[in-house]
Structure 1
Amino acid sequence: MSKVAGRKKRIIGTTAALVAISGGAAFAYWTATGTGSATTKAGTTTGFEITGTATGGELSPGGPTQKVTFTVKNPGTGVQKVSKVDVKVANTDGTTWTSSTGCKTADFAIADYDFTAKELEPGGTATGTVTLQMVNSAENQDGCKGATVPLHFAAS
């Protein structure tokens, strides 16, 4: 029986040693931390190019209208969405217009706006239209005879 007991002790001792060694290896690890960064540059072209053309008869107080067709172009290198285009009688920088002869923004009305929002691929275009009319005012509008009426477009 002492042979069996000695043998059991060796098996138990060997097993315990193996468990201790393998158990210690299973829980060994390195700790680490790290950080990193990267930069890139996005394009700078984010504006639209807008052009317009008016067709129709000469404007006069309460007279005929002109249809203005405008085109919005994406000159950038990525897709840009144009949601709307505001059109008004104004200087090229959007400030209130008054001609040197006394014709002014209030002498005109813009109506019948037609434009659909659209995503524009690089170089892509979208078109829209508005109607321009000279209003019939209670004031003398002689200052508008032969005036060049500026339209300002603002896309967003």
Structure 2
Amino acid sequence: MGKVAGRRKRIIGTTVALVAIGGGAAFAYWSATGTHDTSTAAGTATNFTITSTITGNPLSPNGPTKTATFTVTNPGTGVQKLSNVVVTVAGTDGAAWTAVPGCSAADFVVGTPAFTPTEIAANAAVTGTVTLQMIDRPGVNQDGCKGAAVPLHFSAS
């Protein structure tokens, strides 16, 4: 029985020693890392909308000018840059205007549009003006332009 008691004491002592030594460091863990990426589609530019009104006396060869007031609106959801406005005597699709016999775009001169290039916030607008005048074409009968509806084509970018 003495041998068993001694052996039992040694087992208990060894166990206590092992627990005491490793007891404070009995933590286990896994090391790990993680990353994540996501993306979303950016929108696209929304075409400007342009409206205009024209005021002034009737056009005649080398006569008075008319003034067109135009408004360029950004119907998009974000800011868009307005850099340029081009105005021409042209059809609705920008094609050459020759709808009236004896009268064409060559009978008119369009001034340089006056506006401030700027960034336009969503649903905001910029207003500008441009002049239109009928020119005198010496030696050319311009009777075809009498009473003609002269179309202006606006292009904003």
TM bin, normalised by shorter chain, reads: 0.7 to 0.9
**Other-structure match for 2:150:** 149
Q: Is the 8 A contact 1:49 1:74 kept in 2?
A: yes
1:32-51 matches, within 5 Å, as 38-51=38-51
| In structure 1, C-alpha distance between the alignment counterparts of 2:87 and 2:35, rounded to whole Å | 50
Q: Which amino acid in structure 1 is aligned with residue 96 of structure 2?
A: T
1:76-95 matches, within 5 Å, as 76-95=76-95
Q: How many residues align?
A: 126
| In structure 1, C-alpha distance between the alignment counterparts of 2:35 and 2:108, rounded to whole Å | 61
| In structure 2, C-alpha distance between the alignment counterparts of 1:141 and 1:73, rounded to whole Å | 36
**Other-structure match for 1:56:** 56
TM-score for the superposition, normalised by structure 2 = 0.72
| RMSD, aligned α-carbons | 2.1
Q: Is the 8 A contact 1:45 1:75 kept in 2?
A: no
| In structure 1, C-alpha distance between the alignment counterparts of 2:47 and 2:37, rounded to whole Å | 30
Q: Percent identity?
A: 58
1:119 aligns with 2:101: no
Q: What are the ranges of 5 or more consecutive residues in structure 1 without an aligned counterpart?
A: 1-29
CA 1:140–1:83 in 2, change beyond 3 Å: closer, same or farther? same
Q: Name the SS for the 2:42 alignment partner.
A: coil
1:13-24 matches, within 5 Å, as none
Higher mean displacement: 102-111 or 67-76: 102-111
1:7-18 matches, within 5 Å, as none
Larger Rg: 2
Q: What are the ranges of 5 or more consecutive residues in structure 2 without an aligned counterpart?
A: 1-30
| In structure 2, C-alpha distance between the alignment counterparts of 1:104 and 1:36, rounded to whole Å | 63
TM-score for the superposition, normalised by structure 1 = 0.73
| In structure 1, C-alpha distance between the alignment counterparts of 2:137 and 2:58, rounded to whole Å | 17
Q: Name the SS for the 1:114 alignment partner.
A: coil
Q: Which amino acid in structure 2 is aligned with residue 38 of structure 1?
A: T
